[in-house]
Amino acid sequence: EDEDDVDGLEAWERAYADERSWESLQEDESGLLRSIDNKALYHAQYRRRLRAASRIQKGLIRYLCIVIDLSRAASETDFRPSRMAVVAKNVEAFIREFFDQNPLSQIGLVTIKDGVANCLTDLGGSPESHIKALMGKLECSGDSSLQNALDLVCGYLEQIPSYGHREVLILNSALSTCDPGDIMETIQKCKKSKVRCSVIGLSAEIFICKHICQETGGLYSVAVDESHFKELILEHAPPPPAIAEFAIANLIKMGFPQRAAENVISICLCHKEARGGGYTCPRCKARVCELPTECRICGLTLVSSPHLARSYHHLFPIAPFDEVTPVLSSSQHKLPKSCFGCQQSLLNPGNRPSLSVECPRCKQFFCIDCDIYIHESLHNCPGCESFR
């Protein structure tokens, strides 16, 4: 019996075969095992991310095409249950996160199978239609073709308005590409059309992917396991730095419909049935069920003010907090005993000060968990907001 058959292992054996828990142990100078301080590690990673993201203008209206590789390499099982399943699951999570952070943007899905690129869903602003297509039966076969994918995507992205930022995210499993012509020409075409291509590889680093990303200003990364892949793909959810010449600034006409009361019945455009509630287009008075959307009758983009407000934190980011070094905090009277945000004690057992941070504007102290939460999710400093 082939011992590589995972199903033949007991559950306890699998813990040693699959998750090599001994690799996460660390030793200190004298060779004794050291407990892993996950919190400090996580905080250090977060500080690195924060330093990388400085205050630069970001492209807020994005048109992103996700290219999913469904060649035979995607059926490999080194990512459990298979690369394709992991990709589909994470793309779904990514789509939700993307529309959460970029409500005015649109996504389109493209697949590569048997050397041919096909459009799975058109560019659209509603997450449900994309997720439904992903949940459908996806089969892998044949070769991958990067050139066909890029050609198809460039064709779609040519039609979008000039103020939008054009992006492609390729999720590549294959180690080779089967192209009908010269892929370098296609890359130059992308570059000229100002399309920013990023690639996430699931197998190994490939020169041509690196070249595409370098030429077009995108990001290339290779995932080592499932959780790393999730991390990498979610990195593409926040808006990337805007390359100034890429999009033309423009005034976009938009409508802000009022929400009708539940007892006002009208036929809606999306479902073609009589319903109460919903929103009325201010220009042509047609009824739509949800926002943001484009009115099908007159073409006006309909949004609500919270949708725009979701992106305001990119324009008004809060300053990173300063780390409080242990030397400074030796003057005990200077360091407060609890975090301003969550009231958690800033002292370790034994009255030694634990890691804390300070806001440079309001001079309040916070614990490192609040630091991460404030900068990654809340985007408000409680201290600055609590004082006039």
Instruction: Return residues touching another protein (CB under 8 A).
Output: 55, 57, 60-61, 100, 104, 163-164, 242, 244-259, 261-262, 282-283, 300, 304-306, 308-313, 315-316, 339-344, 366, 369-370, 373-374, 377-382, 385-388
Minimum gap (Å) between residue 277 Cβ and another protein = 11
Minimum gap (Å) between residue 106 Cβ and another protein = 14
Residue matched to tokens 């020169």: 207
Residue matched to tokens 């009758």: 297
Minimum gap (Å) between residue 212 Cβ and another protein = 23
**Distance, CA of 50 to CA of 134 (rounded, Å):** 32
Q: Which is nearer to another protein, 34 or 285 (CB)?
A: 285
Q: Which is nearer to another protein, 112 or 370 (CB)?
A: 370
**Distance, CA of 280 to CA of 260 (rounded, Å):** 7
Here the tokens at position 152 are: 């198809």
Here the tokens at position 123 are: 């560019």
**Distance, CA of 131 to CA of 99 (rounded, Å):** 12
Q: Which is nearer to another protein, 171 or 370 (CB)?
A: 370
Q: Which is nearer to another protein, 224 or 319 (CB)?
A: 319
Q: Which is nearer to another protein, 60 or 169 (CB)?
A: 60
Q: Which is nearer to another protein, 139 or 385 (CB)?
A: 385
DSSP code string of 42-65:
HHHHHHHHHHHS-S--B--SEEEE
Q: Which is nearer to another protein, 11 or 261 (CB)?
A: 261
Minimum gap (Å) between residue 169 Cβ and another protein = 21
Minimum gap (Å) between residue 8 Cβ and another protein = 28
Q: Which is nearer to another protein, 116 or 160 (CB)?
A: 160
Here the tokens at position 156 are: 């779609």
Minimum gap (Å) between residue 254 Cβ and another protein = 5
Q: Are 307 and 261 in contact (CB under 8 A)?
A: no
**97 contacts: CB under 8 Å, gap ≥ 6:** 234, 237
Q: Of the candidates 109, 111, 98, which has an alpha carbon nearest to the alpha carbon of residue 61?
A: 98
Minimum gap (Å) between residue 213 Cβ and another protein = 22
As to burial, measured by CB atoms within 10 angstroms (0-12 exposed, 13-18 middle, 19+ buried), residue 1 is exposed
**Distance, CA of 76 to CA of 56 (rounded, Å):** 40
**Distance, CA of 93 to CA of 109 (rounded, Å):** 14
Minimum gap (Å) between residue 170 Cβ and another protein = 26
